[in-house]
Structure 1
Amino acid sequence: MKKNKLFGKVFGLAVFCFAIIANTGVEAQTSAKDKQEIQAKAGNWVASLNLNDKAKEASVTNIIAAHLEAVRNWNNTHSYTTVPAGINPETGNKLSNLDRQIIVNSAMPDSVHQHLMNGLAKYLSPTQVEAILDKYTVGKVAFTFKGYEAIVPDLTDKEKQVILANLKTAREQAVDYKSMKQISAIFEIYKTKNEQYLNSNGRNWHQLYKDYVNKIKAEKAAKKSK
């Protein structure tokens, strides 16, 4: 009797979980077409490294493709609706659908990330690993860092080191998210950390950013007046 009750509870939970996945409207399995597209993307990224080693290229391509597919499937089978529409306890703001999807995706097993990073480290140099992570995040580290240098032209070496380290942490975390909106949201977390660091280091980020915007506006106005 107890065994039947236990089976009923487990079966009920399985049905509930299946309903959640079904409600996403996306099948858990990757179609043959999507697999080809993922494999092609991974292959193009690896080709840009010019490894000149077919076996190594194939291994790295398969590692990246497996990770891209795992991220895609997790995102597509774990809807934001599984997270209650509550508030962010730090800000009090209502969680957006994007916030809720990021929370869901952050629960993806750590093994998915570790398989990627360990695999890349096995076959690639640290510089090559960074190049692949940049492919995932469309070069956001370099682009964002240039922005800091433009806004705060007298950054010290220490400040540059801290800012760059935060951006690289953002990049590695962001590879586990599917869309550019999600990736950008992860970078926003670390951009906020950078701004808080600058403020705590005697800077006034708000004023620096305001001065930069005014400078750009003045330069545009000067060009139009010519």
Structure 2
Amino acid sequence: MMRKILKPFILISLLMISVNTFSQTKDFAAPEEITTKAKEWVTALNLTDAAKKSAVENVIAVHLTSIRDWHNAHPASTVPDGINPVTGNKLSDLDKQIIADSAIPASVHQSLMDGLNKNLSPEQVETILDKYTIGKIAFTMKGYKAIVTDLTADEEAKILTFLKQAREQAVDYKSMKQISAIFEIYKTKSEQLLNNNGRSWRALYSAYTKKIKDEKAAKAKQ
């Protein structure tokens, strides 16, 4: 009986150790498609220091490979059926996959951020994080400014803080659906902020969509 209990515990322990060790490996042979992506992202920084360029490429490649391997080893089916404690809705496959992927050791994320901050300026780090999330911060902030035309500087700063939190959390997820879902968490916080400031996000969004429809209809008549 004791052996049956210890066996899964040992397997879990070995998995955690292997992931932690893997995420800290400096000389790592990442898959070609991941290496190519890492090089493309780093090219945007125009680094002149060859050593830093190589180090950053390696940090990104190790992180992307760690995320991929954890994701592949922990499919949504490993999470039992249940409900979302916030909405009460049954967990979707996307919910389950996010839960499974969120269990990746924190050291994987920490190794990425430590490696980036060691070799890059804060602005360059943000550029790489934007590459992970296909520029969602700029796109989302542009949307808020279009919908809330009198957005205050304080509101903009707080929303930007939320979106940066979303971006850094989202880099540890493999698919764009997951990344978008993480951003939705912080977009909800941003919209609640606007509501708390006496605005009605629902009314603002409704007015914006009506404006867009009216503009399209006017163009169609021309």
Please report the TM-score for the alignment, with normalisation by the length of structure 2: 0.89
Question: Where in structure 2 are the equivalents of 1:153-164 lying within 5 Å?
Answer: 153-164=149-160
2:171 pairs with 1:175: yes
Match of 2:50 in 1: 54
C-alpha spacing 1:12/1:129, structure 2 compared with 1 (3 Å): closer
1:140 is aligned, of 117, 122, 136, to 136
Q: Secondary structure at the match of 2:31?
A: helix
Task: Work out the percentage of aligned pairs sharing the same amino acid.
Answer: 61
CA distance in 2, matches of 1:106, 1:16: 16
The alpha carbon displacement at 1:16 in A equals 9.9
One-letter code aligned to 2:38: A
Q: Structure 1: any 5+ residue segments left out of the alignment?
A: 18-32
Q: Secondary structure at the match of 2:85?
A: coil
Match of 2:83 in 1: 87
Q: Structure 2: any 5+ residue segments left out of the alignment?
A: 14-28
> CA-to-partner distance for each residue in 1:149-189, whole Å, 9 max, x for gaps?
00001000000001111011000000000000000000000
Q: After the TM superposition, which of the residue ranges 77-86 and 174-183 deviates more from structure 2?
A: 77-86
One-letter code aligned to 1:85: D
Q: Count matched residues.
A: 209
2:84–2:91: 8 Å Cα contact kept in structure 1?
yes
One-letter code aligned to 1:150: A
1:110 is aligned, of 102, 106, 111, to 106
Q: Cα RMSD between the aligned structures?
A: 2.0
2:123 pairs with 1:127: yes
Match of 1:28 in 2: none
Match of 2:187 in 1: 191
The alpha carbon displacement at 1:54 in A equals 1.1
CA distance in 2, matches of 1:131, 1:78: 29
CA distance in 2, matches of 1:85, 1:66: 32
2:106 pairs with 1:99: no
CA distance in 1, matches of 2:190, 2:47: 35
Larger Cα Rg: Structure 1 or Structure 2? 1
Please report the TM-score for the alignment, with normalisation by the length of structure 1: 0.88
One-letter code aligned to 1:106: S
